[in-house]
Structure 1
Amino acid sequence: MQVLGIDPGLRNMGWGIVAVDGPRLRHVANGVITPEGTDLGARLVTLYRGLCAVIAAHGPDQAAVEQTFVNKDAVGTLKLGQARGIALLAPAEAGLSVGEYAPNAVKKAVVGVGHAAKDQIAHMVRFQLPGVVLAGPDAADALAIAICHAHHLQGRSLRIKASA
């Protein structure tokens, strides 16, 4: 199974794909979609088309998106929410189920603590996916989201087997 992790953002939308084989994870691909210009509509179109191209190229089986946290800038939060809408729409349109995870849950799943710094996340992603070359911090975050979802799926699979 392949899991697509998406770190939504208007400036940079990170994406990363991991292959899940039982308890083992393997890096498949990662990158960042970076729209240009200031027109919000055009930026959203670029993000959508870029994410659709990633899905078409790699054919993931599941997707996971980081939830938006509300900060002091309401306008910024609203704009980020629009990018998150694209991050939910593209995989849903492709027929993928989409998991959603709070930033602290992702950090706890990958680093072990819920308030880890970006460099700690990147370090642990490199540790869990040996040989990975990260396309940037947003791609590292996206891979962390994919890893978090993979762990969630593995836990669910173990619970199902235990109850059978």
Structure 2
Amino acid sequence: MTTILGIDPGSQVAGYGIIQVHSNNIPVHKTHGCIRLAKSMTFSEKLAQIYKELSHLIRDYQVNEIVIEKAFLGKNVDSALKLGQVRGVCLLVAGQNNLPVYEYAPASIKKKVTGAGNADKEHVRLVVLRQLGIQSEAALDATDALAMALCHSLEKIIQLKTNTLSSLAKNADFRN
């Protein structure tokens, strides 16, 4: 069993989503939500809060792997720097817990989860809720994080099947 934590980093709201994947390769929703950071907090307090809450999630759900969106350069330099610092905290938490971190581009996540690399956030949300059987409403930040975890679980299945086929091909005797 693998427990995957998807993180949608943000300096105001950070989304998270946790799924478990058992030997049958079917992802099971465990939890999701948002770390909401008060505007009155200093930036260093926000980073500390993200660190603390992610640490609790990793411990409480026995997370094995972390998935985060690949960094992209925005037009607003200040926002990009803050996002980089939040990502740094996410990577620090992973490193301190000896957890591997996997990164995917936003279009790749959307393509794997919805079939369309240009899907909007609302479409991603609807597909994620349906795929995981979640009946309640969920914030876009949380469903983005769940989409990252789902994307990674699908990528692992593809890799497993590719490796199995490669192994079979290597061992096959085509001379007969």
**TM class by smaller structure:** over 0.9
Q: TM-score, normalised by structure 2?
A: 0.88
Give the letter aligned to residue 20 of structure 1: V
Q: Secondary structure at the match of 2:103?
A: strand
Structure 1: 5+ residue stretches without partners: none
Quote the residue 2:171 is aligned against. Answer: none
Give the letter aligned to residue 76 of structure 1: S
Instruction: Report if the CA contact (8 A) 1:91-1:97 is conserved.
Output: yes
Deviations 1:130-152 (A, max 9, x none): 13535411110000000011011
Q: TM-score, normalised by structure 1?
A: 0.94
Quote the residue 2:106 is aligned against. Answer: 103
Q: Does 2:80 align with 1:88?
A: no
Root-mean-square deviation (CA, aligned residues, Å) is: 1.3
Give the letter aligned to residue 14 of structure 2: M
Q: Secondary structure at the match of 1:15?
A: strand
Quote the residue 1:18 is aligned against. Answer: 19
Give the letter aligned to residue 18 of structure 2: I
Deviations 1:52-75 (A, max 9, x none): 011111011111001122111111
* Alignment size in residue pairs: 164
Deviations 1:40-92 (A, max 9, x none): 11110011111101111101111100112211111111111111111222122
Give the letter aligned to residue 27 of structure 1: H
Q: Secondary structure at the match of 2:143?
A: helix
Larger radius of gyration: 2
Give the letter aligned to residue 6 of structure 2: G
Structure 2 distance, partners of 1:11, 1:62, is 24
Give the letter aligned to residue 75 of structure 1: D
Instruction: Report if the CA contact (8 A) 1:35-1:43 is conserved.
Output: yes
Q: Please state how far the C-alpha of 1:38 moved relative to its aligned partner.
A: 4.1
Quote the residue 1:9 is aligned against. Answer: 10
For 1:104-143, what aligned pairs fall within 5 Å after superposition?
A: 104-143=107-146
Which segments of structure 1 move beyond 6 Å, counting only runs of 4 or more? none
1:73 to 50, 73, 76: 76
Q: Does 2:57 align with 1:48?
A: no
Structure 2 distance, partners of 1:150, 1:134, is 23
Quote the residue 2:32 is aligned against. Answer: 30
Identity of aligned residues (%): 34
